[in-house]
């Protein structure tokens, strides 16, 4: 498996380690193990015609003739029988049921218009995020300690456990309530995924969800760049 430095030297594509390592982390383990066996790779994945790739027992794609519409059809027809990894891992520590996850995933479409915030929300839901913990594992940092409190860094620590994060979120909510003459007290789950339930004051709730999403983006951006909040 190539390190980011080796990948950058070998291929001339523009990317960063923040994009490279999340891609590596989602590659299925069985594909990685097969890729490390060059003598059996073609036998395992390709038919007699080298341009036909077997995705599964019932699905294949011809790289020689495939167009974007063919890949789109594969995505549309694919069905998932298991809970996705990100939501499953979040549910281990948070009280989120199936209906709540449905609301969280649907919120991606309407929570805001900015592409960068939608992408951030998607990455947060699916845990496709780099923290100091991952940077330490990849030997890009000398430790895995939180920049603000010194605790062990992780995605949970960044957004939920860090006392500096909790204090900052509390001040943001106090400011929002005072500025909008309201009393919104979101749960940990509602605050984390910006899914505060709508009431009669729908506009206020939308503003609050947008505010909490922007807040988390601000916290993460500053932390990953070693800046204060």
Q: Where are the domains of the chain?
A: 4-77, 85-224
Q: How far apart are CA 18 and CA 20, in angstroms?
A: 6
pLDDT grade, residue 81 (50/70/90)? low
DSSP 197: P
Beta partners for residue 46, in sequence order: 53
* Burial (CB count <10 Å: 0-12, 13-18, 19+), residue 174: exposed
pLDDT at residue 130 above 70?
A: yes
Do 100 and 194 form a contact (C-beta atoms < 8 A)?
Answer: no
Q: Is the pLDDT of residue 120 over 90?
A: yes
pLDDT at 191: 94
Cα separation, 22 vs 10, whole angstroms: 19
Which residue bears the tokens 């780099």?
130
pLDDT at 72: 74
Label residue 5 by pLDDT band (50, 70, 90): confident
Q: Can you state the angle between helices 115-125 and 202-224, rounded to 10 degrees?
A: 80
Encode pLDDT of 142-184 as tens digits. Answer: 999 999 999 999 999 999 999 999 999 999 999 999 999 999 9
């Amino acid at each position: 498996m190539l390190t980011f430095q080796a990948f950058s030297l070998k291929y001339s594509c523009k990317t960063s380690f923040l994009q490279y390592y999340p891609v590596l982390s989602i590659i299925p383990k069985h594909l990685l193990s097969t890729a490390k066996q060059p003598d059996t790779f073609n036998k395992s994945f390709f038919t007699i015609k080298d341009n036909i790739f077997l995705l599964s027992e019932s699905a294949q794609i011809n790289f020689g003739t495939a167009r974007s519409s063919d890949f789109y059809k594969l995505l549309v027809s694919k069905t998932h029988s298991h809970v996705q990894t990100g939501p499953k891992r979040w549910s281990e520590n948070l009280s989120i049921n199936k209906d709540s996850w449905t609301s969280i995933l649907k919120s991606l479409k309407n929570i805001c218009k900015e592409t960068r915030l939608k992408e951030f929300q998607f990455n947060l839901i699916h845990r496709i995020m780099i923290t100091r913990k991952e940077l330490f594992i990849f030997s890009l940092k000398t430790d895995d300690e939180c920049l603000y409190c010194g605790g062990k860094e992780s995605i949970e620590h960044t957004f939920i456990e860090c006392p500096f994060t909790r204090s900052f979120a509390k001040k943001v909510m106090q400011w929002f309530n005072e500025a909008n003459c309201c009393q919104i007290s979101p749960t940990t789950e509602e605050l984390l995924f910006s899914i505060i339930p709508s009431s009669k004051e729908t506009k206020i709730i939308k503003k609050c969800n947008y505010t909490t999403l922007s807040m988390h983006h601000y916290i993460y951006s500053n932390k990953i760049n070693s800046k204060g909040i």
